Amino acid sequence: MKQIRNSKPRIGRSLSGSARVYTTLGWFAGFLGCYLLAPVSAGADSPAAPPVIELSGTPYELGRAHGEQLSEPARACVRSLLGYFRGYIKVPFVGRWVADWWLSRSWKPARAYIAPEILEELRGLSESSGIAYRDLCLMHAIADRTYSCANFAAWGSMTRDGRLIHVRNLDWNIRAGLQRYATVFVVRPAGKHAFINVGWAGFIGILSGVNDATLSIGQVGAETTDATFGGEPMAFLIRRALEQADGVEQAAEIIQSAHRTVGINYILGHASSRQGLAIETTHRYARIFSADDAAERQVDYARPMRDAVFRADTAIDPVIRECQLASQGNPSSPGLEPPGGSAYRVRYLKQAEGLKEAAGKLDVESAKAIAGSIAPDSNVQSVVFAWPELWVANAQGLTPAAHGVYHSFDAAQLLNGAGKEN
């Protein structure tokens, strides 16, 4: 498939001041996420289905309606998430200042690349909810500073009935309590595709979503030295693709041509045409893979498969892999390192094993089983797109999402203006 070079990456060192901050302070998010602050109690969250919130209109109207319908949970979500980061240093005022500075180093260089419509929606959300606009900006800077996750899409000969099944595990931080504010948004922006955002109160970017053209997108953060924060943040890029694209090829072109920021692997699925693509990206480089891609067959550690695409952090493309810190990559050392760590051993290889075992009989329940088999303790959200079915699980207390209760929705009915949980 296509290879896109915006310009040749410089291997082994950061490409900008933003990238240097990204790589040298990356420990902050990981350390904070895994070890610090009071944990969420095991019984803190209810297995009740997330609320379905419908939004429509102009960007400002979308934001205003969001804030009017979810003012309390949105305020609580932003307060909880930023408070989690601000509590890192146990010195009055210092922790808040450090966390805000760290997140603003992501937001400020990105702002010039963010669509005015997004900023207007944030303004509407701020004014209707009472959340400080600056705090909303800082919250939306977090996504580009997180890594991990897993995704696969399978169809045709892989699934029991031939339909496309797309699974994404969001593995970030179960202790921050984000799952308490889980929300299913049905958004109808004026003049664009309607979409479902499986997200959280107060958050308008997309990490897991599907549109009315049956296009679904999920992502995996993949730490790299070829990074900058001076670009379109990933959560807004996914949203733009869902708003504009009719299928995987259009969505791939949007992602390829974007002024990207950090290392992200994407899985795209299109239920209507039964197609899927994997896209590996850094700031300057993008590589598209189709099912059983010939390029994957040239890589010893890859597991190409007919009628399926899947990814964890590990890049298959050699240029992108050479830049990676993810999966025990070492850009300062010449040559490609064999991938290691749980990202490769569990979230990539076990996905491959699960798909191989389920080949020809994969259905929603076996897809959930694969999601559960690879879910780490940090698994905040698990989603199964099996058009028109949409299955959503969120972490409950310290129980990973994929080990808990999935709630079923009819995506087609939601996007047509009818239907809640099945």
- ∠202-206-211 over CA atoms, to 5°? 120
pLDDT of residue 84: 87
| Nearest alpha carbon to residue 241 among 207, 286, 290, 288 | 207
Number of domains in the chain: 1
Q: Residue 341: give its domain's CATH number.
A: 3.60.60.10
CA-CA distance, 40 to 43, in Å (whole number)?
8
**120 in any annotated domain:** no
CA-CA distance, 76 to 85, in Å (whole number)?
14
Distance of CA 281 to CAs 222, 226, 238, 318, Å?
9, 9, 13, 12
**335 in any annotated domain:** yes
CA-CA distance, 70 to 50, in Å (whole number)?
12
Q: Which two tokens stand for residue 72?
A: 């309390």
Q: At which residue do the structure tokens 């010039």 appear?
A: 112
| Nearest alpha carbon to residue 270 among 194, 165, 122 | 165
- Boundaries of domain holding 323: 3-9+51-58+146-415
Q: At which residue do the structure tokens 């974007």 appear?
A: 258
- Helix residue ranges, H only, 111-185: 116-129, 133-140
Indicate left, alpha or beta for 281 from its phi (over 0: left) and psi (-120 to 50: alpha). Answer: beta
User: How many C-beta neighbours within 10 Å does residue 341 have?
Assistant: 16
**234 in any annotated domain:** yes
3-class SS of residue 400: coil
> How does pLDDT run along the chain (422 residues), one tens digit per residue?
444 444 333 333 333 444 443 444 443 444 343 333 333 433 344 579 999 999 999 999 999 999 999 999 999 999 999 998 887 766 677 788 888 999 999 999 999 999 999 999 999 999 999 999 999 999 999 999 888 899 999 999 999 999 999 999 999 888 889 999 999 999 999 999 999 999 999 999 999 999 999 999 999 999 999 999 999 999 999 999 999 999 999 999 999 999 999 999 999 999 999 999 999 999 999 999 999 999 999 999 999 999 999 999 999 999 999 999 999 999 998 888 899 999 999 999 999 999 999 999 999 999 999 999 999 999 999 999 999 999 999 999 899 999 999 999 999 999 998 656 65
User: Strand ranges (DSSP E) for 208-318?
Assistant: 208-211, 215-221, 264-270, 275-281, 285-289, 308-311
**339 in any annotated domain:** yes
**177 in any annotated domain:** yes
CA-CA distance, 322 to 46, in Å (whole number)?
43
**253 in any annotated domain:** yes
**15 in any annotated domain:** no
Q: What are phi and psi of 368, to 5 degrees?
A: -60, -40
Show Cβ contacts of residue 248 under 8 Å, excluding neighbours closer than 6 positions.
215, 268, 269, 270, 273, 275, 276, 277
Strands 52-57 and 275-281: unpaired
Residue-level length of the chain: 422
| Nearest alpha carbon to residue 314 among 356, 349, 275, 268 | 349
**134 in any annotated domain:** no
DSSP 187-223: EEETTS--EEEEEETT--S-SEEEETTSEEEEEEE--
Question: Do you find a cis peptide bond into 388, omega within 30 degrees of 0?
Answer: yes
User: How many C-beta neighbours within 10 Å does residue 162 have?
Assistant: 11
Q: At which residue do the structure tokens 């807004």 appear?
A: 236
The strand pairing partners of 308, in sequence order, are: 154
3-state DSSP helix/strand/coil percent for the chain, to nearest 5?
Answer: 40, 25, 40
pLDDT of residue 95: 81
